[in-house]
Amino acid sequence: MARVRIVTDSAARFEDPRFVKDYNVTVVPLNVHFGREVLKDGVDIDAEGMLRRMERIDVVPRVTAPPVSAFEEVYHDLCRVTDQIVVITHSDKFTDTYANAQTARGSLLGRCEIVVIDSQTSSAGLGYLVEEAAHVASLDKPIDDVIRAVRGAIVRLYSVFYVNTLDYVLRAGLIGETQAALGTMLEIKPILTIEDGRLITMEKARTHAQAIDKMIEFVTEFTSIERLCILQNTPRITDRTRMLQDRLALEFSRLQTPVIVYGPLTASQLGPEAMGLAILEGDGYY
Amino acid sequence: MKPDNVTTGEGRRTCNGQDFKKFVQAGLAWLEQNYEEVNALNVFPVPDGDTGTNMMLTMRSAYNEIAGLDEPHLGTIAQKVYNGALMGARGNSGVILSQLWRGFARGVEEEAVLRADSLVRGLKEATRMAYQAVQEPVEGTMLTVAREAAEEAEAALEESSDLPTILERVVERCHLAVQRTPQLLPVLAEAGVVDSGGRGLTFILEGMLRLLRGEPLEIRTAEHTIEALRSELSPEDEEGYGYDVQYLIKGEGLDVAAIRRHIESLGWSTLVVGDSNMIKVHVHVHNPGEVIGYGASQGVLLDVVVENMQEQYQQFVQERGGPRMASQQSAEPVRAEQPTIEEGTIAAVAVAPGDGLERIFYSLGAAKVISGGQTMNPSMKDILEAVNSLPTDRVVILPNNKNIFMAAEQAAQAANGKQVHVVPTRTIPQGISALLALDPHGEFEEVVEMMTESSEMVETGEVTVSTRTARVDGVQVRKGQIIGLHNDKLTVAGDDVQSVVLDLLDKMGADDLELITLYYGDSVTRQEAVEMAGIIQEAYPDHEVELREGGQPHYFYILSVE
């Protein structure tokens, strides 16, 4: 039986960009709209390019799902080499990607087993799930094992973001009415988290220092951390990142804290000056 | 004055509940005459919750509770006095006063009439209860004066069981005790004042003594200001505001009791005192013509004053923001921003002066903002009603002022069936910081702890005008100078607002922090505030500087640095 193939969308971010190639993961690009111009994420524009552009022209791009046809194309191609595909998409609360990936299955019904999983997360968290799935698949395990591994990891994933301003979140329509009232009178730097696939305000800070404190507090509540990465808007280690890394090193001496640049989807939601952490909690066997 | 139903002099050893009502009324009346003197005994040269006003309003609420009762049983009346005092308690001095009444009521619980021995028991129990109400009792305060009053009463009882004799000694001892307060409390000595709460308590007891002695309880001067305040402060209880009417009746063989009965039938908040030659009438009525006509039929009218209370009230609300619930305003902007509170979540009640600060608290998720603070302390009832009005049974109170702590605590205890906790925020910035940590869906104890911790993460600065020349916290200030307080402590003084703000920021350790927030008061124009913010930004180019309209009275600026 052929090896299970893994598909994801371009919201997924990886510590090592070569991973996708090494493990034969297919990435379906999201569309990035700057006004009438439509660019394919990761093909026509990369994360840094987009962040620079956002800062330069002060425009928030719209990020939309790949069309059904894009998934159909990918499924047809993969069908030639496998009859089992696992598709892991970012949270269906953000775009129509999950729905489009599902719809596209119709054209291959009976010919190929395609399972689409809503990761209920995005960015580096989604990347962790894809790596987990690709790793299990690479061991020639059956599709059920791959699905089980992904579902088992979804519940261990946590993301927190700290944004300078809620403007982008509000413009993206991601936070409900009650929470939208937050920070309208005073400048608030909210700490957001993803819960059930939605971005919600977890805590509120007024300064960078307070925000860093709250993020550290969040991390120290875990008894076991399998993986952790810092999400930011540049591959450079900034002062803020260094501060966060130093604080984390004090709390967890052996923890790796790699830096990943967040992608266009996150940038369109949180703006060009956000900072975040993705955590995969240990499952207790370590 | 010869009160109609309290016989004075030797032989008079008891008084029932109705007689006692007159005592309470007399205590209130004498405090009303003298509350400004009590207000002037402010240790800190800043405009803040005035002790005299707070005690007077507390006493008024106590008296209003019994004014219409015919109950003859002393214990029952005393209990009512306590209820009224508690509900109306404003400021820490008001709460302590209410606790004195609580103890007194407990001491005379079983007594139908007040005898010398029950008076002593009442005073002793009052002292015990008041000491208990204060977490860390300090000598040289109202507590000391109350304790010495009880001691003196006990000693006097060994020699006489005559009420006037005992009360006379008690009042005399109170005066001495008040004089000695600076020896016990260095901060009083430094400020050159005696304790204000002790002075207020003395006035109340002295008023009672004056009633027994038949001495007048009214001083003609300065009455208009006192009475204006009276009409302004409790009008929401009354149907319409009506007119405040005062006059003197001069005549022969005037029947005080009959005149009082008739005046009482014409209006409310009546005060009729005097003797057969001269009677002072003070009453709130809807129809001033009627009460003036009646007075003229009894004798010659002198010093007639008629004031429109509706107008005064509106002016008052405009000028200071009354002790009302912001949510009850019909003006839309505040209401529109009030978040809806879900059942079962944790909600916050905050006290804040000024429309701007009110809006900020609402925008940060406060469920109710009680208008008030520094200069107008809300009553315990104001806070309790705010707590009770929320559709949730877990509530956090942010008093945002030290002088509101005790009233907030009393409200927390009185809120039946609700879990209520006071997060002891002493300043507006502390309250805002605490509110940022409110997680409506969290575990109550944990949320309270987080909010308390969060409130301590901010430095507060306040800039105002010195109300008098004084030396406090090692800083010498002249009356009228601009002063800056850092975390409630007088820290800098100067002659212009801008340099005081900059000095204060320096003392607050702004250098090492990131964000400076400036809330400008109602006496500062937007333009002046913008200029001030610009100067701060220039001095701290790497800091974030945020300017917001606070709208608070008396304080040019409230600053926070974090």
Domain encompassing residue B489: 459-561
Measure A185 CA to nearest chain B CA, in Å: 6
Lowest-confidence pick of B126-140, B225-239, B294-308, B340-354: B225-239
Same fold, A5-30+66-154 and A157-281: no
Q: Which residues of A touch B369 (CB under 8 A)?
A: none
Q: How far is CA B546 from CA A207, A208, B356, B519, B533, in A?
A: 12, 15, 14, 9, 8
In a domain, B479, yes or no: yes
486-515 in B: which are within 8 Å (CB) of A?
513-515
Measure B372 CA to nearest chain A CA, in Å: 20
Which strands make up the sheet holding B557-561, listed edge to edge? Answer: B489-494, B482-486, B459-465, B557-561, B515-520, B544-549
Residues B25 and B124 in one domain: yes
Residues B86 and B166 in one domain: yes
Q: Which residues of B touch A201 (CB under 8 A)?
A: none
User: What percent of chain B has pLDDT above 90?
Assistant: 63
What is the CATH classification number for the domain harbouring B508?
3.30.1180.10
Q: Which residues of A touch B364 (CB under 8 A)?
A: 182-183, 185-186, 188, 204
Tell me which chain A residue has its CA closest to the CA of residue B442. Answer: A202
Yes or no, beta carbons of A207 and B562 under 8 Å apart: yes
Residues B427 and B469 in one domain: no
B476-535 pLDDT, tens digit per residue, is 899 899 999 999 999 999 999 999 999 999 999 999 999 999 999 999 999 999 999 999
Residues B356 and B257 in one domain: no
Tell me which chain B residue has its CA closest to the CA of residue A203. Answer: B437
Confidence at B155, pLDDT banded by 50, 70, 90? very high
Q: Which residues of B touch A203 (CB under 8 A)?
A: 436-437, 439
What's chain A's average pLDDT?
A: 89
Q: How far apart are CA A266 and CA B270, in angstroms?
A: 70
A74-108 pLDDT, tens digit per residue, is 999 999 999 999 999 999 999 999 999 999 999 88
Hey, what are B132's tokens? Answer: 């208990």
Place of tokens 């505040």: B334
Measure B360 CA to nearest chain A CA, in Å: 6
Tell me which chain A residue has its CA closest to the CA of residue B435. Answer: A204
Could you tell me what percentage of chain A is helix, strand and coil, using 3-state DSSP and rounding each to the nearest 5?
Answer: 40, 25, 35
Question: Where is pLDDT greater, at B133 or B228?
Answer: B133
B71-121 pLDDT, tens digit per residue, is 999 999 999 999 999 999 999 999 999 999 999 999 999 999 999 999 999
In a domain, B540, yes or no: yes
Q: How far apart are CA B540 and CA B562, in angstroms?
A: 13
Q: What is the pLDDT of residue B322?
A: 35
Tell me which chain B residue has its CA closest to the CA of residue A185. Answer: B360
- In B432-543, at which residue ranges do the beta strands (DSSP E only) sit? 459-465, 470-472, 475-477, 482-486, 489-494, 515-520
Measure B91 CA to nearest chain A CA, in Å: 29
Yes or no, beta carbons of B339 and A178 under 8 Å apart: yes
Touching check for B359 and chain A: CB below 8 Å? Answer: yes
Place of tokens 């911790």: B453
Helix (H, G, I), strand (E, B) or coil at B256: helix
> Nearest CB to B546: which of A187, A205, A208?
A187
Q: How many domains does chain B have?
A: 4
At what angle are helices B51-67 and B91-107 packed, to 10 degrees?
Answer: 40
Read off the pTM.
Answer: 0.76
Residues B48 and B94 in one domain: yes
> Which of B355, B357, B364 to mutate: most A Cβ within 10 Å?
B364
Pick from B476, B456, B462, B442: nearest CA to B521:
B462
Residues B188 and B269 in one domain: no
Q: How far apart are CA A206 and CA A210, in angstroms?
A: 7
51-110 in B: which are within 8 Å (CB) of A?
none
Measure B341 CA to nearest chain A CA, in Å: 10
Touching check for B546 and chain A: CB below 8 Å? Answer: yes
Touching check for B443 and chain A: CB below 8 Å? Answer: no
Lowest-confidence pick of A177-191, B143-157, B189-203, B227-241: B227-241
Q: What is the pLDDT of residue A272?
A: 84
Q: Where are the domains of chain A?
A: 5-30+66-154, 157-281
Q: Which residues of A touch B432 (CB under 8 A)?
A: 186
Tell me which chain A residue has its CA closest to the CA of residue B357. Answer: A185
Pairing assessment for the beta strands B482-486 and B459-465 based on DSSP bridges: antiparallel
Could you tell me what percentage of chain B is helix, strand and coil, using 3-state DSSP and rounding each to the nearest 5?
Answer: 50, 20, 30
Yes or no, beta carbons of B546 and A178 under 8 Å apart: no
Measure A116 CA to nearest chain B CA, in Å: 33
Q: What is the pLDDT of residue B325?
A: 33
Touching check for B543 and chain A: CB below 8 Å? Answer: no
What is the CATH classification number for the domain harbouring B166?
1.25.40.340
B421-433 pLDDT, tens digit per residue, is 999 999 999 999 9
Yes or no, beta carbons of B544 and A187 under 8 Å apart: yes
> Nearest CB to B514: which of A182, A183, A209?
A209
Residues B466 and B532 in one domain: yes
Which chain A residues have any C-beta within 8 angstroms of a chain B C-beta?
A: 178, 181-188, 203-210
Contact status, residue B360 vs residue B432, Cβ threshold 8 Å? yes
Lowest-confidence pick of A172-176, B64-68, B286-290: A172-176
Contact status, residue A224 vs residue A281, Cβ threshold 8 Å? yes
> Which of B443, B511, B515 to mutate: most A Cβ within 10 Å?
B515
Average pLDDT over residues B371-375: 74
In a domain, B198, yes or no: yes
Tell me which chain A residue has its CA closest to the CA of residue B358. Answer: A185
In a domain, B2, yes or no: no
Confidence at B274, pLDDT banded by 50, 70, 90? low
Measure B515 CA to nearest chain A CA, in Å: 7
Residues B253 and B160 in one domain: no
Q: What is the pLDDT of residue A58?
A: 72
Residues B300 and B342 in one domain: no
Is 80 exceeded by the pLDDT of residue A284?
Answer: no
Q: What is the pLDDT of residue A182?
A: 56
What is the CATH classification number for the domain harbouring B378?
3.40.50.510
B36-81 pLDDT, tens digit per residue, is 999 988 777 887 768 999 999 999 999 999 999 999 999 999 999 9
Q: Which range among A46-50, B185-189, B547-551 has the greatest average pLDDT? A: B547-551
* Stretch (H or E) spanning A191: strand A189-195
- Specify the fold of A157-281: Hypothetical Protein Tm841; Chain: A;domain 3 (3.30.1180)
- Chains A, B: CB pairs < 8 Å: 50
Contact status, residue A24 vs residue A270, Cβ threshold 8 Å? no
Letter for the amino acid at B29?
Answer: A
Question: Where is pLDDT greater, at B369 or A176?
Answer: B369
Letter for the amino acid at B163?
Answer: L
Yes or no, beta carbons of A209 and B364 under 8 Å apart: no
Measure A262 CA to nearest chain B CA, in Å: 26
Q: Which residues of B touch A196 (CB under 8 A)?
A: none
319-338 in B: which are within 8 Å (CB) of A?
337
| Ordered DSSP codes for A122-180 | -HHHHHHHHHHHHHHHHTT--HHHHHHHHHHHHTTEEEEEE-S-SHHHHHTT-S-HHHH
Q: What is the pLDDT of residue A48?
A: 83
User: What percent of chain A has pLDDT above 90?
Assistant: 58
In a domain, B231, yes or no: no
Is 90 exceeded by the pLDDT of residue B199?
Answer: yes
Is 60 exceeded by the pLDDT of residue B266?
Answer: yes
Yes or no, beta carbons of B457 and A210 under 8 Å apart: yes
Measure B510 CA to nearest chain A CA, in Å: 13
Cα angle, residue B38 at apex, residues B32 and B44 outer, rounded to 5°: 145
Q: Which residues of B touch A195 (CB under 8 A)?
A: none
Residues B258 and B164 in one domain: no
Touching check for B548 and chain A: CB below 8 Å? Answer: yes
> Nearest CB to A185: which of B340, B359, B544?
B359
> Which of B340, B359, B457 to mutate: most A Cβ within 10 Å?
B457
B306-345 pLDDT, tens digit per residue, is 777 665 545 544 443 333 333 333 333 333 356 677 788 9
Yes or no, beta carbons of B514 and A207 under 8 Å apart: yes
- B463-494 as b/e: b if 16+ CB within 10 A: bbbbbbebebeebebeeebbbbbbbbebbbbb
Letter for the amino acid at A133?
Answer: A
Measure A203 CA to nearest chain B CA, in Å: 7
Residues B162 and B271 in one domain: no
What is the CATH classification number for the domain harbouring B252?
3.30.70
Pairing assessment for the beta strands A31-34 and A37-40 based on DSSP bridges: antiparallel
Q: Which residues of B touch A184 (CB under 8 A)?
A: 363
> Which of A185, A203, A212 to mutate: most B Cβ within 10 Å?
A185
> Which of A166, A175, A189, A207 to mutate: most B Cβ within 10 Å?
A207
Residues B545 and B505 in one domain: yes
What's chain B's average pLDDT?
A: 86
Place of tokens 């008076």: B119
> Nearest CB to A206: which of B340, B360, B436?
B436
> Which of A195, A210, A239 to mutate: most B Cβ within 10 Å?
A210
Tell me which chain A residue has its CA closest to the CA of residue B338. Answer: A181
Average pLDDT over residues B361-377: 86
A4-53 pLDDT, tens digit per residue, is 999 999 999 999 989 999 999 999 999 999 888 999 999 998 888 888 88
CATH code of the region A5-30+66-154: 3.40.50.10170
